[in-house]
């Protein structure tokens, strides 16, 4: 009844339910599915109380609002106030350095005016250990939700190596349904003094990666975290196929092919990726194949190709009311 | 008095026994619950001794998936047995969940027909909502969730449903059912991703090692279209110990590069490296030489305008060199790739000798280092990881 009264696409509450896969189970890519932290173990069919009529098919079961941007996956460490002041003062030096660079850049007044076709602007080049300082590698075992492990390192050939072991064994805690993912992700784009910022990639049409994989397929994730809590987990995905073997491959993927997902579920309402709102980039592996994986990355860059006219590769027609989530 | 009391107690005993019998009948169903929650099934069933043998036979727990023949035919037979057991099909949701968990065991988790037969267990017509309230509040939620779980399992295993699946689901849940929405989403997205890979592979990949290795070597050597994939037999070398097959790939350009390699510069046989073909892995080896920079680019001052060169007017300079091929990478020049039947050092030695016969005579004059090692990265047994 509640849903019937609402006009199409106007209620964030309904949108939230659809996004979390509670009202609808869309496709998922990250195999991470479990019920909320505080919920009892009622995913089995044995119990049919009133509470168990909810459906536990996504990471968090928030009905009205989500208070934690990390959905409970943030650091649990608590620091004393004095410690935090001390740490803050230590970071002040770096932040002032960043701020100085920003001001200098602004005073130079020298933006990129001409994006030359066929030229790759390298955003991340992994040639020294410092280049990994703004990247993190996580896997399901970090949160006690699986047994995969992974590692980010720099090889002797000065390339980034994302390697580890994928393990789809589900821990027997009665809470987790599926396991087996590893992920590498860069820190969120920011300005000095921890101000949030976005990558400005409007002018580019392709993402270009020079990688050497092992034949597995990986997933590219472009996060576009929005202001409201239902948009915090908006991530655009596309597959990165690797050839395998000793040869490097250059993969050029148009941004128009990226599709929207939230918490690993492909969304019904799709739209082209907002390239000026990208907050971070990640590569994950979770193809459900047990065993070691390794992906070497030389660089990740961007390219402007004027011949690429496609805006969005997927249909955007609307379905019947209340059939798909809008 | 005593006799009558005995009569009463025997009557009570009969009543109790009947109740127990009914309970046990229920326990046949509960056993599915038990299996679902990984309870030991037997503990739930009270051990009641019955007087007649006929009754005790009826009490035998039907464990549907304990069959010794773990194949599709048996699995479908089990499902049919359940369907034909009684008209009400009591406990069908529990049965479906139990069946879903045994799919891998019977190797039917990639079979569309089996999934359809599982969905078909659900009764037709009863779950279709009759009014807007029923439609909105998820009519028969447990059953709908069960169907969604079947579809989700199909999705995880890459099984794309067909039109008949839609018809079955429509007959069960109607157009407003959540399983239908799930089905429509699957039918929208899954075909889009099905053939996306630029290096397509059969599904499932063959289990034969030779065919797998051939696929792997062809996939690796797809980087150069001129590459010729040759199958050698180690028997052709009389001194070889391992009589096995060797799949080797080398292009004409790689032969040239091998011939140009200085005789004092060593060549390495490296491996085994791993390549994944869906869920199968193949070990391959490479023949590599150090990358020799033949051309050093001079650093020019781009801001110096005193001597501008116009390519149309000026004489062609000696700076023009042949562009490096794909085989010349910064970490070495790949000269050949192979996979052998045993991945042993002896088979690699045979490979080098066979390569030498097959148009690479200069190999006999070069120092060759065998640096075989375990595959890239640490090898961890999954059980060990589990134990941690």
pLDDT digits (tens, 9 = 90+) for B155-170: 999 999 999 999 999 9
Q: Which of B133, B376, B380 sits opposite A294 (nearest CB)?
A: B376
Question: pLDDT by residue (tens digit) across A23-34?
Answer: 433 333 333 333
Tens digit of each residue's pLDDT (9 = 90 or more) over A277-297? 999 999 999 999 999 999 999
Q: Is A292 on the interface with B (CB under 8 A)?
A: yes
pLDDT over 70 (residue B113): yes
pLDDT, tens digit (0-9, with 9 covering 90-100), for A174-217: 888 899 999 999 999 999 999 999 999 999 999 999 999 999 99
Contact A45 B33 (CB under 8 A): yes
Query: What's the gap in Å between the CA of A68 and the closest CA on chain B?
Result: 28
Q: pLDDT tens digit string along B173-212? A: 999 899 999 999 999 999 999 999 999 999 889 999 999 9
pLDDT score recorded for residue B41: 33
Cβ <8 Å between A215 and B276: yes
CATH architecture under which domain A41-66+115-319 falls = Sandwich (2.60)
A324–B181 CB contact, under 8 Å: yes
CA-nearest residue of chain B to A259? B189
Nearest CA in chain B to A170: B386
Task: Point out the residue among A167, A214, A249 whose CB comes nearest to the CB of B276.
Answer: A214
Map tokens 């326990």 to a residue: B27
Mutate one of B38, B101, B181 to test the A interface: name it (highest A CB count within 10 A).
B181
**Is A323 part of the contact surface with chain B (CB cutoff 8 Å)?**
yes
CB B335 within 8 A of CB B291: no
- The encoded tokens of residue A88 equal 């803050």
Contact status of A194 with chain B (Cβ, < 8 Å):
no
Would you say residue A238 has pLDDT above 80?
A: yes
The token pair at A21 is: 């896969």
Band (pLDDT 50/70/90 cuts) for residue A1 is very low
Q: Which residues of B touch A289 (CB under 8 A)?
A: 276, 278-279
Query: In chain B, which residues have their Cβ closer than 8 Å to the Cβ of A244?
Result: 216, 219-220, 275-276
Flag whether pLDDT at A326 surpasses 80: no
> What's the pLDDT tens digit per position in A263-282?
889 998 899 999 999 999 99
CA angle A208, A214, A215 (to 5 degrees): 80
User: Is residue A255 over pLDDT 70?
Assistant: yes
Least confident of A45-59, B56-70, B228-242: A45-59
Mean pLDDT of A80-106: 94
The C-alpha atoms of residue A217 and residue B215 are separated, in whole angstroms, by: 17
Cα B322 to Cα B141, B223, B295, B325, distances in angstroms: 69, 19, 9, 9
Is A7 or B80 the better-scoring residue by pLDDT? B80
Q: Where are the domains of chain A?
A: 41-66+115-319
pLDDT band of residue A321 (cuts 50, 70, 90) is confident
Measure CB to CB from residue A244 to each of B181, B275, B329 and give the nearest one. B275
Q: In the predicted model, is pLDDT for residue A39 greater than 80? A: no
CB-closest option in B36, B220, B222 to A46: B36
Which percentage of chain B shows pLDDT scores above 70? 77
Among candidates A3, A245, A324 on the partner chain, residue whose Cβ is nearest the Cβ of B220: A245
Between A155 and B56, name the one with better pLDDT: A155
| Chain B residues within an 8 Å CB radius of A24 | 178, 181-182, 185
- At residue A46, the pLDDT reads 31
pLDDT for the residue B374: 53
**Interface touch B142/A48, C-beta < 8 Å:** yes
Partners of residue B184 in chain A, C-beta under 8 Å = 323
CA B388 to chain A, closest CA, distance in angstroms equals 8
Chain A residues with CB-CB distance to B36 below 8 A: 44-46
Chain B residues with beta carbon closer than 8 angstroms to that of A247:
220, 223, 326-327, 329, 334
Residue B40's pLDDT band (boundaries 50, 70, 90)? very low
Name the minimum distance, in Å, from the CA of B149 to any CA of chain A.
Answer: 9
Q: What is the pLDDT of residue B10?
A: 41
CB contacts, 8 Å: B178 with chain A: 23-25
């Amino acid at each position: 009844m509640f849903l019937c009264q609402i006009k199409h696409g106007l209620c964030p509450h309904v949108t939230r339910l659809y996004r979390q896969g509670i009202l609808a189970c869309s496709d998922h890519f990250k195999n991470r599915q479990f019920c909320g932290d505080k919920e009892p173990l009622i995913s089995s069919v044995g119990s049919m109380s009133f509470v168990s009529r909810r459906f536990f098919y996504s990471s968090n079961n928030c009905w009205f609002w989500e208070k934690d941007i990390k959905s409970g996956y943030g650091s649990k460490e608590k620091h004393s106030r004095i410690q935090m002041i001390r740490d803050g003062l230590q970071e002040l030096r770096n932040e002032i350095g960043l701020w100085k660079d920003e001001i200098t850049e602004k005073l130079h007044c020298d933006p990129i005016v001409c994006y030359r076709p066929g030229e790759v602007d390298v955003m991340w080049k992994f040639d020294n250990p410092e280049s990994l300082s703004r990247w993190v590698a996580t896997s399901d075992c970090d949160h006690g939700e699986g047994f995969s492990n992974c590692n980010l390192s720099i090889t002797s050939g000065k390339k980034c190596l994302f390697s580890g072991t994928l393990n789809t064994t589900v821990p027997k805690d009665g809470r987790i349904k599926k396991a087996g993912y590893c992920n590498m992700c860069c820190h969120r784009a920011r300005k000095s003094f921890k101000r949030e910022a976005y990558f400005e990639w409007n002018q580019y049409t392709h993402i270009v990666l020079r990688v050497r994989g092992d034949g597995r397929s990986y997933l590219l994730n472009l996060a576009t975290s929005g202001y409201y809590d239902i948009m915090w987990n908006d991530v655009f995905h596309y597959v990165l196929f690797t050839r395998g073997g000793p040869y490097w491959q250059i993969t050029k993927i148009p941004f128009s092919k990226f599709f929207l997902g939230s918490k690993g579920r492909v969304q019904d309402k799709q739209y082209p990726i907002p390239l000026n709102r990208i907050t971070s980039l990640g590569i994950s592996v979770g193809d459900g194949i047990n065993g070691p994986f390794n992906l070497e990355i030389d660089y990740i860059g961007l390219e402007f190709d004027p011949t690429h006219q496609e805006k969005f590769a997927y249909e955007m027609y609307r379905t019947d009311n209340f059939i798909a989530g809008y | 008095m005593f006799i009558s009391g005995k009569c009463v107690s025997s009557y009570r005993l009969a009543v109790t026994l009947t109740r127990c019998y009914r309970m046990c009948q229920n326990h046949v169903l509960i056993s599915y619950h038990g299996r679902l929650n990984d309870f030991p099934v037997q503990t739930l069933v009270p051990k009641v001794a019955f007087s007649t043998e006929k009754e005790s036979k009826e009490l035998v727990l039907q464990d549907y998936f304990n069959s010794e023949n773990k194949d599709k035919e048996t699995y479908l037979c089990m499902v049919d047995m359940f369907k034909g057991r009684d008209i009400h099909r009591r406990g069908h949701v529990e049965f479906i969940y139990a069946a879903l968990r045994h799919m891998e065991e019977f190797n039917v988790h990639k079979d569309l027909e089996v999934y359809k037969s599982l969905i078909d267990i659900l009764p037709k017509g009863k779950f279709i909502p009759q009014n807007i309230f029923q439609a909105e509040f998820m009519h028969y939620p447990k059953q709908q969730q069960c169907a969604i779980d079947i579809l989700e399992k199909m999705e995880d295993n890459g099984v794309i449903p067909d039109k008949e699946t839609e018809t079955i689901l429509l007959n069960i849940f109607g157009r407003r059912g959540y399983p239908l929405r799930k089905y429509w989403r699957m039918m929208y997205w899954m075909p889009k991703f099905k053939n996306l890979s630029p290096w397509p592979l059969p599904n499932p990949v063959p289990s034969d090692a030779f065919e797998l290795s051939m696929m792997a070597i062809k996939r690796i050597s797809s980087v150069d279209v001129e590459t010729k994939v040759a199958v050698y037999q180690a028997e052709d070398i009389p001194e070889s110990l391992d009589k096995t097959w060797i799949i080797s790939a080398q292009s004409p350009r790689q032969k040239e590069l091998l011939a140009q390699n200085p005789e004092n510069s060593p060549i390495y046989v490296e491996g085994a490296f791993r390549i994944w073909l869906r869920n199968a892995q193949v070990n391959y080896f490479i023949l590599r030489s150090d990358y020799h920079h033949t051309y050093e680019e001079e650093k020019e001052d781009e801001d110096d305008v005193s001597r501008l060169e116009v390519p149309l007017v000026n004489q062609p300079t000696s700076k023009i060199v042949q562009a490096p091929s794909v085989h010349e990478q910064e970490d070495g020049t790949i000269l050949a790739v192979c996979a052998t039947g045993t991945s042993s050092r002896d088979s690699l030695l045979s490979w080098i000798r066979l390569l030498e016969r097959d148009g690479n005579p200069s190999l006999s004059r070069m120092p060759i280092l065998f640096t075989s090692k375990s595959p890239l990265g640490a090898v961890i047994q999954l059980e060990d990881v589990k134990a941690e």
